Chain A
Amino acid sequence: MATSSDTNLPQSCFVVVPAFNEAPRIGRTLESLLQVARSVVVVDDGSADNTAEVALQYPVWVLRHPVNLGQGAAIQTGITFALRQGAEYVATFDADGQHDPGDLAKMLEQLHQAGVDYVLGSRFLGRAAGIPISRKLMLKAAVWYTRLMSGIRVTDTHNGIRLMTRRGAERIHITMNRMEHASEILDQIARSGLRFIEVPVTIRYSEASLAKGQKTSAAFRMGVKIIAERVMR
């Protein structure tokens, strides 16, 4: 269990962990996350398994969506909650254990050094251990797609590890509930006029994370939804 002596993030840094049917993995993720974070918010997105019960065994906040809404909705719920709790910094962190919690401390340090409001993790600047070639190509295509649609130049568009200041978090209003939120966040960052940097992070792919990750057909649907949102609104 984490103690104040071995934590690297201040209590005012809230780490939002969206989780859907993550009961087999969430415990291990929280154990490693609590080595560096003191304020963790798990948002159970209407899981059919006992994700929330497992998370409640740890010193974290647990919020439960009554129905499954999507990762974007879960992240926004966590951000809203963290801001209401007085968070000075808000981070997002996937529940499947593919991120390295140590990256969060480095991201906070770089946020201060660079004087920016958003620090985005990039697996392509860092390390993506075990990434399949099809996933790599899909993510590279997403980078170009985002560059075209949002005009924002990043090297990794769908990375779940991010850190933002309170000011930055207040400018984020995710309305696209499912996986499109990653593009929407970048879009809002671009429009916020606030500064961001990308930093190298490590992603470890496992069979479980790959099974839960985005398929090519899902990525295509996501692209269509993003276009529809822009054309129809």
Chain B
Amino acid sequence: MNLFQIVFVPLCTIAALNNLWRLRRGQTSWLAGLFWFVVWTAGAVAIAYPPITSLAARTFGITRGSDFVLYLVTLGLLFFLRVFYNRYRRLENMVTQLAREIAISEAVEGPRART
């Protein structure tokens, strides 16, 4: 085992187990708990036994396991970036709309304003 594996295999395992613990205590939803358990476990396995990523990659027609992991991570990040951008914009629009309605409902006329 190299230094990277010595450090990160236990870390990923602890993260996976911690996730199970949170799931058991009802601190996370079943979907989120399952998702993160699979992610951390897959990370631990892939770091402990790197050839398994190449095995998985070849089933998708990709030669190198590291390329396969890179594609998955990139696609995942892009997906979440888009999800969170849209959520942020919706929230921003809601705050703006709220501020707008407050401003309009509290509109004040200066002296001799005519409409």
Residues of A within 8 A of B (CB): 1, 11, 38-39, 43, 55-67, 69, 73, 76-77, 80-81, 84-86, 175, 177, 228-229, 232-233
**Chain A residue with minimal CB distance to B92?**
A177
Which residues of A are found within 8 Å of B25, using beta-carbon distances? none
- Given A66-B102, A69-B96, A73-B96, A232–B86 Cβ distance below 8 Å? yes
* Interface bracket on B: 20 to 34
Q: How far is the CB of B57 from chain A (nearest CB, A)?
A: 28
Complex-state Cα separation, A83 to B102, whole angstroms: 16
B113 touches A59 (CB 8 A): yes
B103 touches A66 (CB 8 A): yes
Which residues of B are found within 8 Å of A60, using beta-carbon distances? 109-110, 113
Q: How far is the CB of A91 from chain B (nearest CB, A)?
A: 15
B81 touches A80 (CB 8 A): no
Complex-state Cα separation, A229 to B92, whole angstroms: 13
Residues of B within 8 A of A (CB): 81-82, 85-86, 89, 92-93, 95-96, 99-100, 102-104, 106-115
A62 touches B114 (CB 8 A): no
B113 touches A73 (CB 8 A): no
Q: Could you say which of B89, B102, B109, B110 contacts A233, with CB atoms under 8 Å apart?
A: B89
Which residues of A are found within 8 Å of B89, using beta-carbon distances? 175, 229, 233
**Chain B residue with minimal CB distance to A77?**
B100
- Given A11-B114, A232-B86, A69–B99 Cβ distance below 8 Å? yes
- Given A61-B108, A62-B108, A80–B114 Cβ distance below 8 Å? no
Q: Which 9 residue pairs spanning A and B have beta carbons closest together?
A: A63-B103, A232-B85, A59-B112, A59-B113, A77-B100, A56-B110, A63-B107, A65-B99, A58-B110
Complex-state Cα separation, A43 to B103, whole angstroms: 8
**14 cross-chain CB contacts under 8 A:** A59-B113, A59-B114, A60-B113, A61-B107, A61-B110, A61-B115, A64-B106, A65-B100, A69-B99, A77-B103, A77-B104, A80-B104, A232-B82, A233-B86
Q: Could you say which of A56, A67, A175 contacts B93, with CB atoms under 8 Å apart?
A: A175
Q: How far is the CB of A225 from chain B (nearest CB, A)?
A: 11
**Chain B residue with minimal CB distance to A14?**
B115
Which residues of B are found within 8 Å of A62, using beta-carbon distances? 107-110
Complex-state Cα separation, A59 to B115, whole angstroms: 10
A177 touches B110 (CB 8 A): no
Complex-state Cα separation, A84 to B90, whole angstroms: 24
Which residues of A are found within 8 Å of B110, using beta-carbon distances? 55-62
